[in-house]
Amino acid sequence: MKPLMERKVFFLEILLCMAVFPILAAILLCCFPRNALPLLLVSSLCVAVTVSALCWRYLQMRDQKLEDAALQIAEYILDRRKGGIECSEEGAMYHLFHEVNSLVTIADAHADSERQAKEFLRDTISDISHQLKTPIAALNIYNGILQQEAADTATVQEFTALSEQELDRIESLVQSLLKMARLDAGAITLEQSPENIAELLEHIRGQYSFRAEQEGKEIDLKGEEQASLLCDRTWLAEAIGNLVKNALDHTAPGDRILVRWQQSPCLTTISVEDTGSGIHPEDLYHIFKRFYRSRFSKDTQGIGLGLPLAKSIIEAHRGSIEVHSELGQGTTFIINFPIQMG
C-alpha cells in the first residue's frame, strides 16, 4: 500500500473510532441511564485501546520500512549488492529514500572514478617502465662497448652518438609526460591572444623544414593570410607540430604534407594532410591513446605520446580533433576551434 493511502486509511480509522464513541455514549444514556457512567468509562477505554492499537500498527509499518531501508543501506555499504532503496512511491520518508539513492549513485560514480584512476595510474607506470627499458638497456650496451673500445676513436664516436640519441629519447619521453601531467592536473593557464594563423604555421614549418628537405618531402601551407585564432601560441604550436612530425614519420621521399586552414563565422578549421602510408583501420580508434603502438607501424623510435598530447592541448583550447585515413592513400587530421565571441 502506498504511504499516502496508508495515512488516509489510518486517519479514517481514527475518525471512525472517534465518531463511534459519541454515538455509543448516546445509546448507553438512553438505554441504561442508571449504569451509564461505568459503561461510558468502559467504552472510552475500548476506544482508547483501539486507537492505540491502530497507532501501534501504523508505527510498526513505518518502523518496518525504516528497517528495510537500513538493511538495504547496510548491504550496499558491505558491497553485498548494488542498487538503492525502492522509492517509487510518494511521501516524506520516500523523499528521504530518494536522497539516499542519490547519495548511493554519487558514491558509485566516485568509486568508479577512483577505480579508473587507479587502473590508469597502473597502466601508465607499466607503459613508462616499458618505454624506459629499451633506451636504458641500449645505453648499458653502448657503455660496455665504449669501455672495451676506448682506444678506438671511430667506435667511441659512433656509440657516443647512439648514446646521445637514446638520452634524447628519454628526455623526450619525460618532457611529454610532464606536459600531459600538467594538462591533466589543470596546472596550466593558457595565455591566449589573437594569433595570425599563417605566421604560426609558417613557424611550425620552419621547425621541420630541414628534416623535410633531408628526407625529400614537402610541407606546404594553404589558407587565408589574414585569418587569426585566439590561442596560446606556444602550446598550440606544440600540438600542430606533433601532427606535422607524425606526418613526416609516416611518409616516404617524394610525399607531400599540406597544412591548410579556413574560417567560417563560428568555426576555425586547421587540417594536416599527407600522402603517406595511411593508418590501418584497426588503429584508427586507438591512435589518441597514450603509449599506443600499432603492430602495423614501421616507426620503432616513437613513444606514443605525440598524438595524445596534441589532443589534450587542442581540447584545452575547447577544440576537437578527428582523423580520416586510407591505407596507401594518406591521412588527414582535422582540428576545429569554435570562434570565441566578445
> Which amino acid type is present at position 334?
I
Percent of the chain, pLDDT > 90?
23
The pLDDT confidence band at residue 173, using thresholds 50, 70 and 90, is: low
> Does pLDDT of 253 surpass 90?
yes
Domain co-membership, 229 together with 290: yes
CATH code of the domain in which 172 resides? 1.10.287
pLDDT single digits (tens) 97-107: 677 777 777 77
Domain co-membership, 215 together with 307: yes
pLDDT single digits (tens) 187-214: 677 788 999 999 999 999 998 999 899 9
**Per-residue cell: 327:** 591505407
CA dihedral 302, 305, 311, 316 (to 10 degrees): -140
pLDDT single digits (tens) 26-60: 666 677 666 666 666 666 677 677 767 767 777 77
Site of grid cell 638497456: 137
Least confident of 109-113, 176-180, 261-265: 176-180
Q: Identify whether the C-beta of residue 21 lies closer than 8 Å to the C-beta of residue 45.
A: no
Structural domain boundaries, residue 73: 3-81
Nearest to 231 by CA among 342, 320, 314, 335: 314
> Does pLDDT of 83 surpass 60?
no
Residue 276 within any structural domain of the chain: yes
Domain co-membership, 41 together with 24: yes
Average pLDDT over residues 215-244: 91
* Contacts of 5-12 spanning 24+ positions with Cβ under 8 A: 6/58, 6/61, 7/91, 10/54, 10/58
The pLDDT confidence band at residue 120, using thresholds 50, 70 and 90, is: low
Pairing of strands 256-263, 267-274: antiparallel
> Does pLDDT of 224 surpass 50?
yes
Boundary (domain end) residue, out of 148, 166, 184: 184
Residue 92 within any structural domain of the chain: no
Domain co-membership, 293 together with 327: yes
More confident residue, 136 or 217: 217
Residue 168 within any structural domain of the chain: yes
**pLDDT at 119 (0 to 100):** 72
Residue 105 within any structural domain of the chain: no
**pLDDT at 39 (0 to 100):** 62
Domain co-membership, 167 together with 275: no
Domain co-membership, 174 together with 234: no
Q: How many distinct structural domains can be found in the chain?
A: 3
Residue 216 within any structural domain of the chain: yes
Percent of the chain, pLDDT > 70?
60
Domain co-membership, 324 together with 207: yes
- pTM passes above 0.85: no
Nearest to 237 by CA among 180, 189, 197, 179: 197
CATH code of the domain in which 304 resides? 3.30.565.10
Domain co-membership, 14 together with 134: no
Boundary (domain end) residue, out of 24, 50, 81: 81
Domain co-membership, 45 together with 170: no
Domain co-membership, 218 together with 284: yes
Whole-number average pLDDT of the chain = 76
Residue 313 within any structural domain of the chain: yes
Domain co-membership, 200 together with 310: yes
Q: How far apart are CA 94 and CA 86, in angstroms?
A: 9
Average pLDDT over residues 60-89: 65
Average pLDDT over residues 79-85: 55
Boundary (domain end) residue, out of 136, 153, 184: 184
**pLDDT at 87 (0 to 100):** 57
The pLDDT confidence band at residue 125, using thresholds 50, 70 and 90, is: low
Q: How far apart are CA 106 and CA 99, in angstroms?
A: 11
**pLDDT at 80 (0 to 100):** 47
- Describe the chain by its helix, strand, coil percentages, rounded to 5: 60, 15, 25
Residues 6+ away with beta carbon under 8 Å from 280: 294, 296, 327
Residue 70 within any structural domain of the chain: yes
Domain co-membership, 254 together with 325: yes
